Amino acid sequence: MSVTKVPMRGVNTAVDTAAGDDANIGYTSAEGLILTGQGSTDDITVKNDADTTVLNVATGATDVEVSAGNLLFGTGSKGVYLGVTSATAANLLDDYEEGTFTAAYTFGGSTTGITYGTNGQLGRYTKIGRIVICDFYIGLTSKGSQSGSVVVTGLPFTSVAHGLNTQSVASIGSYTGSWNLSANTHFTADVGQNSVVMALREGTYESDANPAAVTAAMAANDSQLYMSVTYEAT
């Protein structure tokens, strides 16, 4: 006996669902289409063509569980509103990214003669919304013969031009080797507004107000710099 499959053209129901339904598709003018069910493990299960559970709601529960795969938006610049029940722009998380970048120096605006060791230009970043967290290492083999202020280039995102009379970076921490900073100072840094470069500074332990620029004269040919910084991107 053969069975002919008739394609389903749609579901048309004006019946509401009720608690305890084994499985039902209903409709009300207020709620629209309603899908309900009652199972020993899950009330609702969505599977793909390979019979793999993709999405489910546990029996009696209210959480929606993604059992396989990830949430993926069909177009870019979409996100999730967190902590609110309406589309409030300030609560929209629409960007998360991880990646690498190549950190490098300029001395007085020049790269002439600067060389780096193997794995001497490592950088990783995490971007959550507009906040960028960067960890990087720069290891020199030669600083060349240039002079002037030391700037780190290659930041992964352009910093915000926020209109405030401040720079856009906070130095979280750093470790250095073979640098000759002034007495009782430590590394700090700042990113100018609308910029992808970061100026190295030396701050005092008493106060980081008006930190002086780090210069090429303070570096040795084998200088190393490990730093973690956070700044706001556009």
Nearest to 167 by CA among 149, 187, 192: 192
pLDDT of residue 208: 58
pLDDT of residue 69: 92
pLDDT of residue 234: 87
Task: Give the Cα separation of 35 and 49 in Å (integer).
Answer: 20
pLDDT of residue 173: 74
Task: State the residue for tokens 């700042």.
Answer: 190
* All residues at 6 or more sequence positions from 167 whose CB lies less than 8 Å from its CB, including other chains: 190, 191, 192, 193
pLDDT of residue 164: 67
pLDDT of residue 166: 61
Along the 234 residues of the chain, how does pLDDT read in single tens digits?
666 666 656 666 778 888 888 888 999 999 999 999 899 999 999 999 999 999 999 999 999 999 999 999 999 889 999 999 999 999 999 999 999 999 999 999 999 999 999 999 999 999 999 999 999 999 999 999 989 999 999 999 999 987 665 666 666 678 888 999 988 888 888 888 899 999 999 887 666 567 889 999 999 999 999 999 999 998
Task: Give the Cα separation of 53 and 71 in Å (integer).
Answer: 14
Amino acid at 128: I
Q: What is the CA radius of gyration of the chain?
A: 29
- The beta-carbon contacts of 176-179 under 8 Å, at least 24 apart in sequence, are 176/223, 176/224, 176/225, 176/226, 177/222, 177/223, 177/224, 178/219, 178/220, 178/222, 178/223, 178/224, 179/214, 179/218, 179/219, 179/220, 179/223, 179/225
pLDDT of residue 15: 82
Nearest to 97 by CA among 130, 137, 135: 130
Ordered DSSP codes for 190-220: EE-TT-S-EEEEEEESS--SSPEEPBGGGEE
Ordered DSSP codes for 29-52: TTTEEEEEE--SSEEEEEE-TTS-
In angstroms, the Cα distances linking 209 to 47, 102, 152, 192, 216 are 60, 29, 21, 16, 22
pLDDT of residue 197: 94
Nearest to 33 by CA among 56, 10, 53, 54: 10
pLDDT of residue 58: 95
